[in-house]
Amino acid sequence: MNIAVSNFLPNKVAVKTQMGHVVLDDTTRNAMVGKLTGLSNPYTQPRHFAAEIRTSLSVIGANAMMDIHDFATAPDSPAVMLIENLPTDPHLPPTPLDGVLTHTARSYVGEAVTYGLGKLIGEPIGYTTEKDGDILHNLIPAQGAETMQSNRGSKVFLNFHNDSVYDESGWFHTYNADFLVLYGHRSDPKRQAETIYIDAKTICAVLSDEDVELLRQPLFQMAAPSNFTVLLNNGEKIWSRLGGVISGPDNAPEITVAANGTRGTTPQAEEALQRLKAICDLPEHSVSVRISAGQALLINNRKGIHARSTFEPTFGPDERWLLRANIRRDTWAMRQRKTDMWNVYV
């Protein structure tokens, strides 16, 4: 279905998603390096690693700490934040294209930064259906997966979405992450890959009032995430129970969209959904970042949706390599999903 954007935006002013921005000075960055080296292996000793991180966070400085705190807690704060001039790993090995990490001669500075930022905004956790329950995820393009709607893809646009988690209740945005941390070990060699973000407040401001009201109705279904369908359901899609795409108060709306597929169950609902998607495709309403080494992007996974542009992978030793952490503000609400693994949930 092709929707002409110009036909449904009368009387709407231009609105752009706002992005917070923190740039650390060199003194702070160097102090962080001193605190974040010599730590335990985060993949084999995650509990020890987490305990060591907790004693090392104050070096980031009061101003940055306040900005990050506001990002995590203030309803009216920008829903995405870029942090620059972060420490990098001085002994980073070639990008592990086979997914096998090299643990020799590693200081895990990038992992420490990723986890540490996660602790400032909530609790980093793992999910059994994502990267084998790892709390820190290595996002690397995979050969043979170039056209997948997942973080392993590269040659197709990764659709606007929230990161979601399969849930037997039929709604996949209940126990998912509240925030994501994306940290750059390496950018893609051709500097093509962009992470794009648009918040629900912007979308609702541009859409007609009638479309927003439709999108609030329980007329939509979300597909379960691709990692669940591929690993545990033989590739067959599972659709959620009916729900709304937009929820919450008008001045602080929440949005729910699935990368693996979202559909309206009436013609009017589907048309409103297509108009929402058309707005997301207009760069004047979104923000985008080509994440470089030493940068981190903090993403509110409820206030807005994110996407990733296409890029041409080289599959060489300097291939794109990001770290990701899923962050929850409240783990008590998902206590029934706790596994025997430390800080890992179904």
Region 47-71: mean pLDDT is 91
Percentage of residues of the chain with pLDDT beyond 70: 95
Domain ranges within the chain, ordered by starting residue: 17-332
Region 190-214: mean pLDDT is 98
pLDDT band at 47 (very low <50, low <70, confident <90, very high): very high
CA 315 to chain centre: 23
Q: Would you state the CATH architecture of domain 17-332?
A: 4-Layer Sandwich (3.60)
What is the C-alpha to C-alpha distance for residues 312 and 154, in angstroms, rounded to an integer? 7
- Cβ–Cβ under 8 Å, residues 297 and 80: yes
What confidence score (pLDDT) does residue 13 get? 62
- Cβ–Cβ under 8 Å, residues 35 and 25: no
Question: pTM of the predicted model, to two decimals?
Answer: 0.94
Mean pLDDT of the residues in the chain: 92
The set of residues, in sequence order, having a beta carbon less than 8 Å from that of 180 and lying 6+ positions away, is 163, 298, 299, 301, 306, 324, 325, 326, 327
Higher pLDDT, 310 or 230: 310
| Nearest alpha-carbon partner for 226 in 261, 264, 181 | 261
DSSP state for residue 214 in the 8-state scheme: H
Q: Which helix (H) or strand (E) holds 300?
A: strand 296-300
What confidence score (pLDDT) does residue 259 get? 86
Region 208-217: mean pLDDT is 98
Neighbouring CB atoms inside 10 A of 87's CB total 23
Cα radius of gyration rounded to whole Å, the chain: 20
| Nearest alpha-carbon partner for 114 in 342, 325, 291, 326 | 325
pLDDT band at 251 (very low <50, low <70, confident <90, very high): very high
Percentage of residues of the chain with pLDDT beyond 90: 83
What confidence score (pLDDT) does residue 150 get? 85
Neighbouring CB atoms inside 10 A of 193's CB total 21
What confidence score (pLDDT) does residue 9 get? 52
pLDDT over 60 (residue 10): no
pLDDT over 70 (residue 3): no
DSSP state for residue 196 in the 8-state scheme: E
pLDDT over 60 (residue 12): no
Compute CA distances 218 → 245, 306, 338, whole Å. Answer: 8, 22, 29
